[in-house]
Chains A and B, each alone.
Chain A
């Protein structure tokens, strides 16, 4: 990799050089990302989705939650491009509103996991000893139960609000991030510039977040982008099983669930198909984007 070549700045104090290396790494990564057509297409779709989500807060073609806007099980038509559901609600309007749930669950979970997973992992990796033992045990225990079941149990415990769903999902996906941050901290803490910082009297908070975190940021951000599709998928599973946002609020997993009987009955597959399609394309886009990001910023890590 061209950027790994030592620059004349290598003679500088190691911490400073590393920071500069990081800067050129970022610039290089963004350039590589732009060249990746698939990731670019995914980014454009996700931008469009974000726009739809914003618009849907203020405007939808019909009121999404009003029953009897049109005939029940109406097939797609000019007035209702995606048809209507079993209660006579406009599917397009509900699909638009449904993006709010998916996007907010995905992003909020990623942010929570970033916060909690990184802090817990860094502390475990930096201090080792008892802190590491406790965190590692916690990680192992959470890996030992099926995440969807944990999310269901927490959902039932906490209640059905959107925030509770986000918390429940976060509790099932933080382990990968914590493990990654722990590994990064374990290896970076042995590098010379950490030694230098410690010798310079820096406190552990400063070392963790001022020195170790910036150098582990690439893989951490890549990991965070993969949390988003997993969270959206888990949320969809939850609401498909009936553990979603409280009705009448629309979300894609719940819409698919409502559409299942009419698909199985063989009279209207569209109620299920459109939210399923929206969900699948969104997950695909997040995965492509995440792949592109990983290839661009973390070329060593191959899956």
Chain B
């Protein structure tokens, strides 16, 4: 599977990821450190006292030098620096724990998205121009038109209140959720609200790809062999239709990250997205930069993973 060409390709992509992460982190670093105000504003420290504080955190140095120190911290100690809001709290463990929470939410949403999107897309294509098709494509358009916070709010309204007697609080909970990762029941509503938006796009692409593939000669061959219809649709048609579907997995991951910022704030989920918004409000810039950097790395690897998935799905693609 891993040919030499593939390894070279992975190497090139890794270089690009490093480059992107450096550019992004420096950009964000420069932006947030040139913002008016700082994390100490709320402490009402002024003059001499402020200068001492700034010096203590290295914030009085020129920005390129600060950045250089920050990079050194990562490379030498794996440290993203310390929080300015909760003074001296190391960021790395905090952010990594939040990343794992977000990853769990995002991963569940990805499963919802891909599961719903592909199922709906295949059904709509197989029953083209029937009411099933119209219903599912309508759901898809609604899916990518209705903002995720609207879906989330409706979910809270319906399952948290109207149907609460029925579901006995199984699908909604008074925030924040229990423990670090929440229970499966607590995870389900946020994950569905988050995954529904992107599932619309996947439904659409799957349907279009299936309709295209079903016309192909090899589908006729598969039928002529006397294969069962289910086998023809899933093994022969869907396998091929997954190639274009894979191409939007990268944007899907980005959409889910974007959506998770909003969803985590609605549902009080202690993930990266919630931390990001708080860090902005608290002027806790080291955290802001750290979250950005982690997201940039995440997206880089997600895109690389998608490219490798391609080679598994379509044997003609080799790097």
Contacts and interface: CB of A to CB of B under 8 A. Distances in A.
Contacts of A152: 276-277, 280
Nearest to A276: B150
A150 B280 CA distance: 12
B284 to A, nearest CB: 12
B281 interface: yes
Given A147-B258, A256-B150, A140 B20 contact: yes
- The secondary-structure label for the interface of chain A is helix
A87 interface: no
A272 interface: yes
Given A236-B147, A237-B147, A148 B296 contact: no
A269 to B, nearest CB: 5
B38 interface: no
A269 B147 contact: no
Classify chain A's interface size: 35 or more
Interface stretch (A22-30, A49-57, A104-112, A277-285): A277-285
B299 A145 contact: yes
B29 to A, nearest CB: 11
B74 to A, nearest CB: 18
B288 interface: yes
A157 interface: yes
Interface in B284-317: 288, 291-292, 295-296, 299-300, 303
B82 interface: no
A156 B35 contact: yes
B191 interface: no
Nearest to B20: A144
A260 B153 contact: yes
Report the interface size class on chain B. Answer: 35 or more
A149 B276 contact: yes
A287 B265 CA distance: 27
A148 to B, nearest CB: 4
Interface of B is mostly: helix
A237 B280 contact: no
Contact of B299 (A144, A233, A280, A302): A144
Contacts of A302: 208, 212
Nearest to A240: B149
Given A146-B258, A240-B149, A272-B153, A141 B23 contact: yes
Contacts of B141: 284, 287-288, 291
Given A153-B28, A284-B142, A288-B141, A145 B295 contact: yes
B161 interface: yes
Nearest to B208: A302
Nearest to A38: B141
Contacts of A279: 147, 150
A263 interface: yes
Interface string A222-260: 000000010001001100111000000000000010001
A145 B153 contact: no
Interface string A62-82: 000000000000000000000
Nearest to B289: A153
Contact of B254 (A146, A154, A240, A287): A146
Interface string B40-60: 000000000000000000000
5 contacts: A144-B21, A153-B288, A236-B147, A272-B153, A280-B142
Interface of A: 140-141, 143-149, 152-154, 156-157, 229, 233, 236-237, 240-242, 256, 260, 263-264, 266, 269, 272-273, 276, 279-280, 283-284, 287-288, 291, 302-303
Interface of B: 16-17, 20-21, 23-24, 28, 31-32, 34-35, 141-142, 144-147, 149-150, 153-154, 156-157, 160-161, 204-205, 208, 212, 250, 254, 257-258, 261-262, 265-266, 276-277, 280-281, 288, 291-292, 295-296, 299-300, 303
Closest CB pairs A-B (n = 7): A284-B145, A276-B150, A148-B258, A283-B145, A144-B20, A280-B146, A146-B257
Given A143-B254, A143-B299, A284-B142, 16 more contacts: A144-B21, A144-B299, A153-B28, A237-B149, A241-B277, A242-B281, A256-B150, A260-B153, A264-B156, A273-B153, A276-B153, A280-B145, A283-B145, A283-B147, A287-B141, A302-B212
